[in-house]
Structure 1
Amino acid sequence: MITELRLENWKSFGEATLYIDPLSILIGTNASGKSNVLDALQFLQNIASGMNAKNSLETIRGGLEWATRRPNRSFRLDVVILESNIRYDYCVQYSVDDLLLRNVFPVKIREDELDDATQKICKNLRGIFVLEPNPSEITGYSLLSDKLNNDASNIAGVLAALPIERQKEIEDTLTQYASRLPERDIHRVYAEKVGKLGKDAMLYCDEKWGESGEVFTVDARAMSDGTLRFLAILTALLTLPEGSLLAIDEVDNGFHPSRAHLLLEALQTIGKQRNIDVLVATHNPALLDALGTEFVPFVTVAHRDSITGESKLTLLEDIEQLPKLLAQGTVGKLSTQGLIEKSLNMKPLNQTVKAELYVH
């Protein structure tokens, strides 16, 4: 599993480190750098899957032109992977001028171990899945598929293509959580093949209204954006390969604040059951309050340096004034009032520079 991501001159970042746990929360104001972290993960997934670096950068927000923090012309991304209690350090360096991607092992690896290490690193990087649900794309018919799209447009096709028993198991779990989402009774969430050839599928929901308990069937076109986003997140958790890293930007977009605890429960429970690490970016105070103080060690704050403007990442528990801040209210309240970012800009944080030997 990926346990650390280090960014150097990547987009708005100078130097920063993100620590990844089974459930990691990335918070921060608009334009603080949260989405840039997810872009870095997507870039690593792309190149591990065989896409060349230039094309990969062109598919990410800002394209090649904004891949580095100016005036720099190159960036570096390091990852730390822990598998079977063995640590693997790996990084990529890219120069915009010569369009050259270099692969580096910061820790010397014996030649006879190189192939095995490379395979394990690539497997973990390919296991990154950045989910950006697009409700307007989910509402249509989708082709049967064995892999979820990043915009979740093919939820129906993924569910309908599953073996019958696995499909029912997943649909039961979707129903279990979705039935607690709206102010009415969702009786069943499911997908069915449609058309003469049965190569397409549609997502459906059976709802109960009124005292009669009559069931009404609606398809994805009649579902709310919040419901579709929730089903997209659940489907990703339930269908991604075990050992994956699921990253979601603005995870609670479209959710009512009273349902924040339900989303958090799903992320924790299903993620743990299926050994999927989850990284979510948010600035929703309701979700932050639902976390509780026990989650403080797993919250990272993205913020901009008030002098240089570069993005930084700071563990919430490393903020010197955190006890005083928490005495003023919950994490959600502190975030809403901007007190966390204000405390970070009051004085520079002490930073430890690690010297490492890099073998090229």
Structure 2
Amino acid sequence: MNHRILGLTVRNFRTLTDTKLPLGPLTVMVGPNASGKSNVLHALEFLGDVSRKGIEPALEERGGFDVLAFRGGRKPVSRITVGIEGIWSDCATEEAPDRYELSVSRTRLPEGSRERYSVYRGERFTQHPAEGAETSVELTSGSLTVSSALEADGEGGSVNVGRMASALHQERLLPLAEDSPSAVAVGAVRRHLSEIRVFDPDVRKARQPWGISESGRYLESDASNLADFLRGLKEDGGDAWELLLEDVRTVVPQIRDIHLVTPPDFVSYRTAVELEEEGLRGRTRLTDASWGTVRILCMLAIFHDPNPPLLTCIEEIDHGIHPHALSLLAGRLREASTRSQFLVTTHSPVFVNELEPEEFVVCERRRSGASLIPARRPEDTRRVIEKSEYEPMGDLWYSGALGGGL
């Protein structure tokens, strides 16, 4: 099955007061600073943390309800909602997608109570595990209710649960057999959300040697295990390593080869990266390579990942990368998006020139403090392009013709 996320819905999460964002194989957001682009990525990251850690830890790591809730308007908001729709059960389609929605609500307690507020969650899964059958799992207040007419799901019914319990996080919370159709569908969305990667390379960490382990099969969100990931890519024996080398030589012509070695000042189970460069004796350790060289190596590595998650988010994909390299980067990104979805942000007109209108999302910020995402429909973008006699889309955006300017 081609599992994928079709769209994201967010209400009152930071500046995202009412955002409904369709997600295709490749979605690129543009717009001024503070327009809400990063908040879209953070909303998805929040769902990922809920699936891995639970609702309360995910809230606490972000400073709690007050920090996450929209701070504009006359009155404080009392509910945050983040939801996705997509295809993860057997009979879901674009016309009848599966859905997951999480809401976190806060109510004021009566005077004299030990706490000022009570926080509780609402959670709902809707899936299509059989032809013509829609089932649901809903958590409200202190109960969980399964609604299903499928014999394989059993009788369903309601059970008592904690007010902050989450079926997205707790596998055994459902009163269903593990192999029942609805439980399998809930497990699929749990797994996909837990694997969402918000890729933001930390160049200092990526430069360092890294221990050889199974983690090398998956490039960490901060690229801290880059050396081990590259080792795994090379040892796999597939085409990915040679294609990566070819791309690196194209965008950094001085580099002849990439070597993976055990550094002399470390024990044998660590891997370090060394670059063989044109005209230089010896090799350049990655710890001594330029910031931009390391970052572009991280980006190319993520595009050649042979085992990507369902969705990878990348903040400011063009940051620190020469404009002439962005065309190749965009091409590799589009190729990678045939294997998994990508949601990225950029401030580069050069990069936007490589996109199609359906991949391009304009973000703006209203005077009220709320984000407007998307601020323009793809058909409106196409009309502007046609009217301009097919000027490059990045140039049109930079000129202000497509919105999303200062």
Give me the TM-score of the superposition, normalised by structure 2: 0.73
**Aligned-pair CA distance for 1:318:** 4.3
Q: Are 1:231 and 2:291 matched, yes or no?
A: no
Q: Match for 1:94 among 86, 104, 117?
A: 104
Q: CA separation in 2, counterparts of 1:250 and 1:257?
A: 13
Q: Are 1:138 and 2:206 matched, yes or no?
A: yes
Match of 1:185 in 2: 254
Judging changes above 3 Å, is the alpha-carbon distance between structure 1 residues 55 and 35 closer, same or farther for their aligned structure 2 residues?
same
Match of 1:282 in 2: 346
Q: Match for 1:202 among 269, 272, 277?
A: 272
Matches within 5 A, 1:113-128: 113-128=181-196
Q: CA separation in 2, counterparts of 1:139 and 1:242?
A: 22
Contact 2:196 / 2:309 at 8 angstroms: preserved in 1?
A: no
**Aligned-pair CA distance for 1:116:** 1.4
Judging changes above 3 Å, is the alpha-carbon distance between structure 1 residues 163 and 156 closer, same or farther for their aligned structure 2 residues?
closer
Q: Match for 1:41 among 31, 40, 44?
A: 44
SS of residue in 2 equivalent to 1:78: strand
Q: Are 1:332 and 2:394 matched, yes or no?
A: yes
**Bigger radius of gyration among the two:** 2
Q: Match for 1:104 among 124, 128, 145?
A: 124
**Aligned-pair CA distance for 1:99:** 3.6
Q: Deviations over 1:252-292 (max 9, x none)?
A: 101111111011011112332xx11111111211101122x
SS of residue in 2 equivalent to 1:98: strand
Deviates more, 1:151-160 or 1:78-87: 78-87
Q: CA separation in 2, counterparts of 1:121 and 1:173?
A: 32
Q: CA separation in 2, counterparts of 1:332 and 1:85?
A: 39
Q: CA separation in 2, counterparts of 1:31 and 1:45?
A: 23
Q: CA separation in 2, counterparts of 1:45 and 1:55?
A: 12
Q: CA separation in 1, counterparts of 2:211 and 2:81?
A: 38
Structure having the larger proportion of residues in helix: 1
Q: CA separation in 1, counterparts of 2:306 and 2:66?
A: 32
Q: CA separation in 2, counterparts of 1:318 and 1:165?
A: 42
Q: Match for 1:299 among 360, 378, 390?
A: 360
Q: CA separation in 2, counterparts of 1:217 and 1:240?
A: 28
Q: Are 1:80 and 2:70 matched, yes or no?
A: no
Q: CA separation in 1, counterparts of 2:185 and 2:70?
A: 30
Contact 1:74 / 1:94 at 8 angstroms: preserved in 2?
A: yes
SS of residue in 2 equivalent to 1:105: strand
**Aligned-pair CA distance for 1:79:** 0.6
Q: CA separation in 1, counterparts of 2:122 and 2:270?
A: 42
Q: CA separation in 1, counterparts of 2:247 and 2:7?
A: 31
Q: CA separation in 1, counterparts of 2:342 and 2:299?
A: 11
Match of 2:370 in 1: 310
- Count of residue pairs brought into register by the alignment: 330
Give me the TM-score of the superposition, normalised by structure 1: 0.82
Judging changes above 3 Å, is the alpha-carbon distance between structure 1 residues 318 and 269 closer, same or farther for their aligned structure 2 residues?
closer
RMSD: 2.7
Query: Identity percentage over the alignment?
Result: 23
SS of residue in 2 equivalent to 1:179: helix
Q: Which runs of 5+ in 1 are unaligned?
A: 346-360
Q: Match for 1:156 among 219, 223, 227?
A: 227
Contact 2:259 / 2:274 at 8 angstroms: preserved in 1?
A: yes
Q: Which runs of 5+ in 2 are unaligned?
A: 107-116, 128-133, 136-147, 154-180
Judging changes above 3 Å, is the alpha-carbon distance between structure 1 residues 44 and 342 closer, same or farther for their aligned structure 2 residues?
closer
Judging changes above 3 Å, is the alpha-carbon distance between structure 1 residues 54 and 270 closer, same or farther for their aligned structure 2 residues?
same
Q: Are 1:129 and 2:192 matched, yes or no?
A: no
Contact 1:88 / 1:121 at 8 angstroms: preserved in 2?
A: no
